[in-house]
Amino acid sequence: MVSSLDDLHSWAPAPAPADGRLLTEKTQAERLRTLPTGVPGISYGLGIPNTNGRLGHNGKIPG
C-alpha cells in the first residue's frame, strides 16, 4: 500500500492522539514511556517503538 501525506491527514485529522491534545499529561507520559527490548537502541511502549530517539512506527512489517 502506498499513501500520500494528504491521505494520512484524511485518516488521522488533528487533534489526534499522537499530538497529545486529547490526553491528560499523565496519560501522554505513560503512552510515551518505553522499556528496553534487549536490542541496542530500541525500546517499546504502548504500541510505540523508540528507535534511537525516534518515536513511532516506520511502516515496516517483518516477515
Q: How far is CA 16 from CA 2, 40, 46, in A?
A: 21, 30, 16
pLDDT tens per residue across span 5-35? 888 777 776 666 666 677 788 988 888 899 9
The model's pTM: 0.57
Residues 6+ apart with CB under 8 A from 32: 45, 48, 55
CA dist., res. 17 & res. 37, Å (int): 24
- pLDDT at position 57 over 90: no
CA dist., res. 2 & res. 63, Å (int): 19
% of the chain at pLDDT higher than 70: 81
Among all chains, which residue has been given the C-alpha cell 530500541?
A: 42
